[in-house]
Structure 1
Amino acid sequence: MPEDSGHNKNKGFLRRFLDLPTDSIPKTIFVAVSVCLVASMIVSAAAVSLRPLQEVNKLKDKQINILQVAGLYDPQADVVEAFSVFEPQVLELETGKFTDQFDAATFDDRAAASDPALSVALTDDPASIGRKSKYVTVYLLRKDDGSLDKVVLPIHGYGLWSTLYGFISLEANGNDIYGLQFYSHGETPGLGAEVDNPRWKSLWKGKKLADDSGELLITVAKTAPAQGEDFHVDALAGATLTTVGVDNLVRFWMGEAGFAPFLENLKAGEI
């Protein structure tokens, strides 16, 4: 027995480890750690290699949503080619004018909103977004003669469980709504997620933002405002807080803190 003990001590660490029973604690821990390390490396490699494809798909989805909200989406058509009819411009919200400070093809609105140098913290924040980018990308759609047909504006704000990101398209007069839809949110399926219901989205077409005096009246609620149905979109059934969130975010972005300066320039023919 002493001879065996001495013999084992003369063995190297690796040899002693290999001689352990298969179900021993050290071997079990070693196998578990090894599997975790290999799996994590595979997942990391896949994430890195797939990132370019994910970015392409993300951009394509955004372009599809812009085409849809402008009434131009054709599932059979090439998305990139169809989207080429739009003229993207980076807009400075405060002045309501376009800027060439950024490349509209690559400017990231959502990243800018979290950049202290490109955004401002909000104290009056009905849309519950915290910070607002000073610059956003808008999309102009022109007719064959070069005159403006529609504008597509990005909007976002908090609902019940999530921030809803979407677009609103307006006619060239800057007041008549052509469409509204969201491309990203985490609202409750069957309730707040009904913002994706085609029937509800169709209610926006033809509604007006403001009256002839310029007062913002668009409302998402159960009952129409005193000014009438032209300014009213029905609330989402059973989703009161999501409805309030959509109402708040639309009114915020269409108001003075959002696109109002741009819409005023649009109505004045300066766009």
Structure 2
Amino acid sequence: MSKKESTSRTLLVALAVSLVSSVFVAGAAVSLKPVQIENRQLDKQRSILAIAGLGEATMSAREVKDLYNSRIKARVLELDSGEYSDAFDPKLFDPLKAARDPKLSDALSGEEDVALIKRRERFTTVYMVEQDGKLEALILPVRGYGLWSTLHGFVALKSDLNTVVGLGFYQHAETPGLGGEVDNPKWKALWPGKTLFDDAGKPIIEIVKGGVDPSSAQAGHQVDALAGATLTSNGVDHLLQFWLGEQGFGPYLAKLRTQGV
């Protein structure tokens, strides 16, 4: 067999192996996609329950689903109007995907974009903890840039729409031991009971470098900054200012207060 024929045969075998491998990989990706979607949904539900102070971290998938379905009500919200929308199914709507769609989002100017998210979706999903038809807590999705990554999380408010139930992030890539301390239970434990707004509904929550003075009149709306992680701490501060303000959930929360919820 000539050298040319040998080379051609080798290339054909390599091509055949590549094609077969591609078919298997594509097939596996397609078959696993529903499982991946379900796992992402489960992780999100677990995060929402944790921020609301419901359930235990050791709950099974079935227990998470049952508790979520019995206590949490999701609704799609139009941010500019502060009104609920039936345009999308809250179980399927993806606000992050909408933020990348020019038809469903708006570009932010430098002055507006304190959270450094570039685009803000026009619709998002909010989550209500209800008991016997009464609102116990309201859970709002928040995100913003830290030092190395966008932090994605939730802040939960009591029914007074001012007092923090919990704050946590389910996705980020901050430095372990520094900005990654946003996941530290000790830091997260500083948030419950803090107030977010002044009497006029303006965000006043603040992350303080060097620690909060407990004797200060401002201590009720201040939280210690993360040690050695100034930019991540600033990022959390900025994302809260954005999402609690007029560009975020400000109009929605104002309507709820007027309605006496």
Q: TM-score, normalised by structure 1?
A: 0.86
Give the Cα separation in 2 of the matches to 1:54 and 1:128: 28
The partner residue of 2:235 within 215, 238, 245 is 245
Is 2:108 the partner of 1:135?
A: no
Is 2:64 the partner of 1:82?
A: no
Residue type of the alignment partner of 2:31 = S
Alignment root-mean-square deviation, CA? 2.1
Percent identical: 48
Find the residue that maps to 2:259 and give its secondary structure.
coil
Is 2:228 the partner of 1:229?
A: no
Residue type of the alignment partner of 1:35 = V
* 2:37 corresponding residue in structure 1: 55
* 2:175 corresponding residue in structure 1: 188
Give the Cα separation in 1 of the matches to 2:163 and 2:66: 27
Matched-pair contact (CA < 8 Å) for 1:173–1:266? no
How far residue 33 of structure 1 moved from its aligned partner, in angstroms, is: 3.8
How far residue 83 of structure 1 moved from its aligned partner, in angstroms, is: 0.3
Residue type of the alignment partner of 1:73 = G
The 5 Å alignment of 1:170-185 reads 170-185=157-172
The 5 Å alignment of 1:30-109 reads 30-74=12-56, 75-76=58-59, 78-84=63-69, 85-109=71-95
The partner residue of 1:126 within 114, 124, 130 is 114
* 1:117 corresponding residue in structure 2: 103
Structure 1: tracts of 5 or more residues without a match: 1-18
Residue type of the alignment partner of 1:122 = L
Change (3 A) 1:213 1:270: closer
How far residue 219 of structure 1 moved from its aligned partner, in angstroms, is: 1.1
Between the two proteins, the alignment pairs up a number of residues equal to 251
Give the Cα separation in 1 of the matches to 2:157 and 2:115: 20
Structure 2: tracts of 5 or more residues without a match: none
Larger radius of gyration: 1
Per-residue Cα deviation, 1:67-124 (whole angstroms, up to 9, x for no partner): 0000112333511110011111111111212122222222111111112121111111
Residue type of the alignment partner of 2:225 = A
